[in-house]
Amino acid sequence: MKIDNEDFGTLAVCAIRYCRGRQTYMPSLVRGIVKGHITEISDKDLYVLINDCGYTLKSEDEIEPKEWSEWKEMLIAEQNRRKENAE
């Protein structure tokens, strides 16, 4: 089955949102999958992931602040890379 980039981005956003606050292996697993396919995420979905990560880091219930902070840094680096390539 083939999935287009837009659908993959939607699934990635949903999966990341599902993972927030979970005390399982799932957050790390999903972040790893998305990271491995980050170039397939649209600019719009990348923006959503960055904003959602900011919300996650502000949550008092978050149990992996270091991992989510590193995730956000990686997303921002990808966003900056795209901006530099567009210039």
Q: Kindly report, residue by residue over 20-72, the tens digit of the pLDDT.
A: 888 889 999 999 999 999 999 999 999 999 998 887 777 766 678 888 899 99
Enter the tokens of residue 85.
Answer: 């390539």
The tally of domains found in the chain comes to 1
Q: What residue numbers bound the domain in which 41 lies?
A: 5-86
Average pLDDT (6-13) is: 92
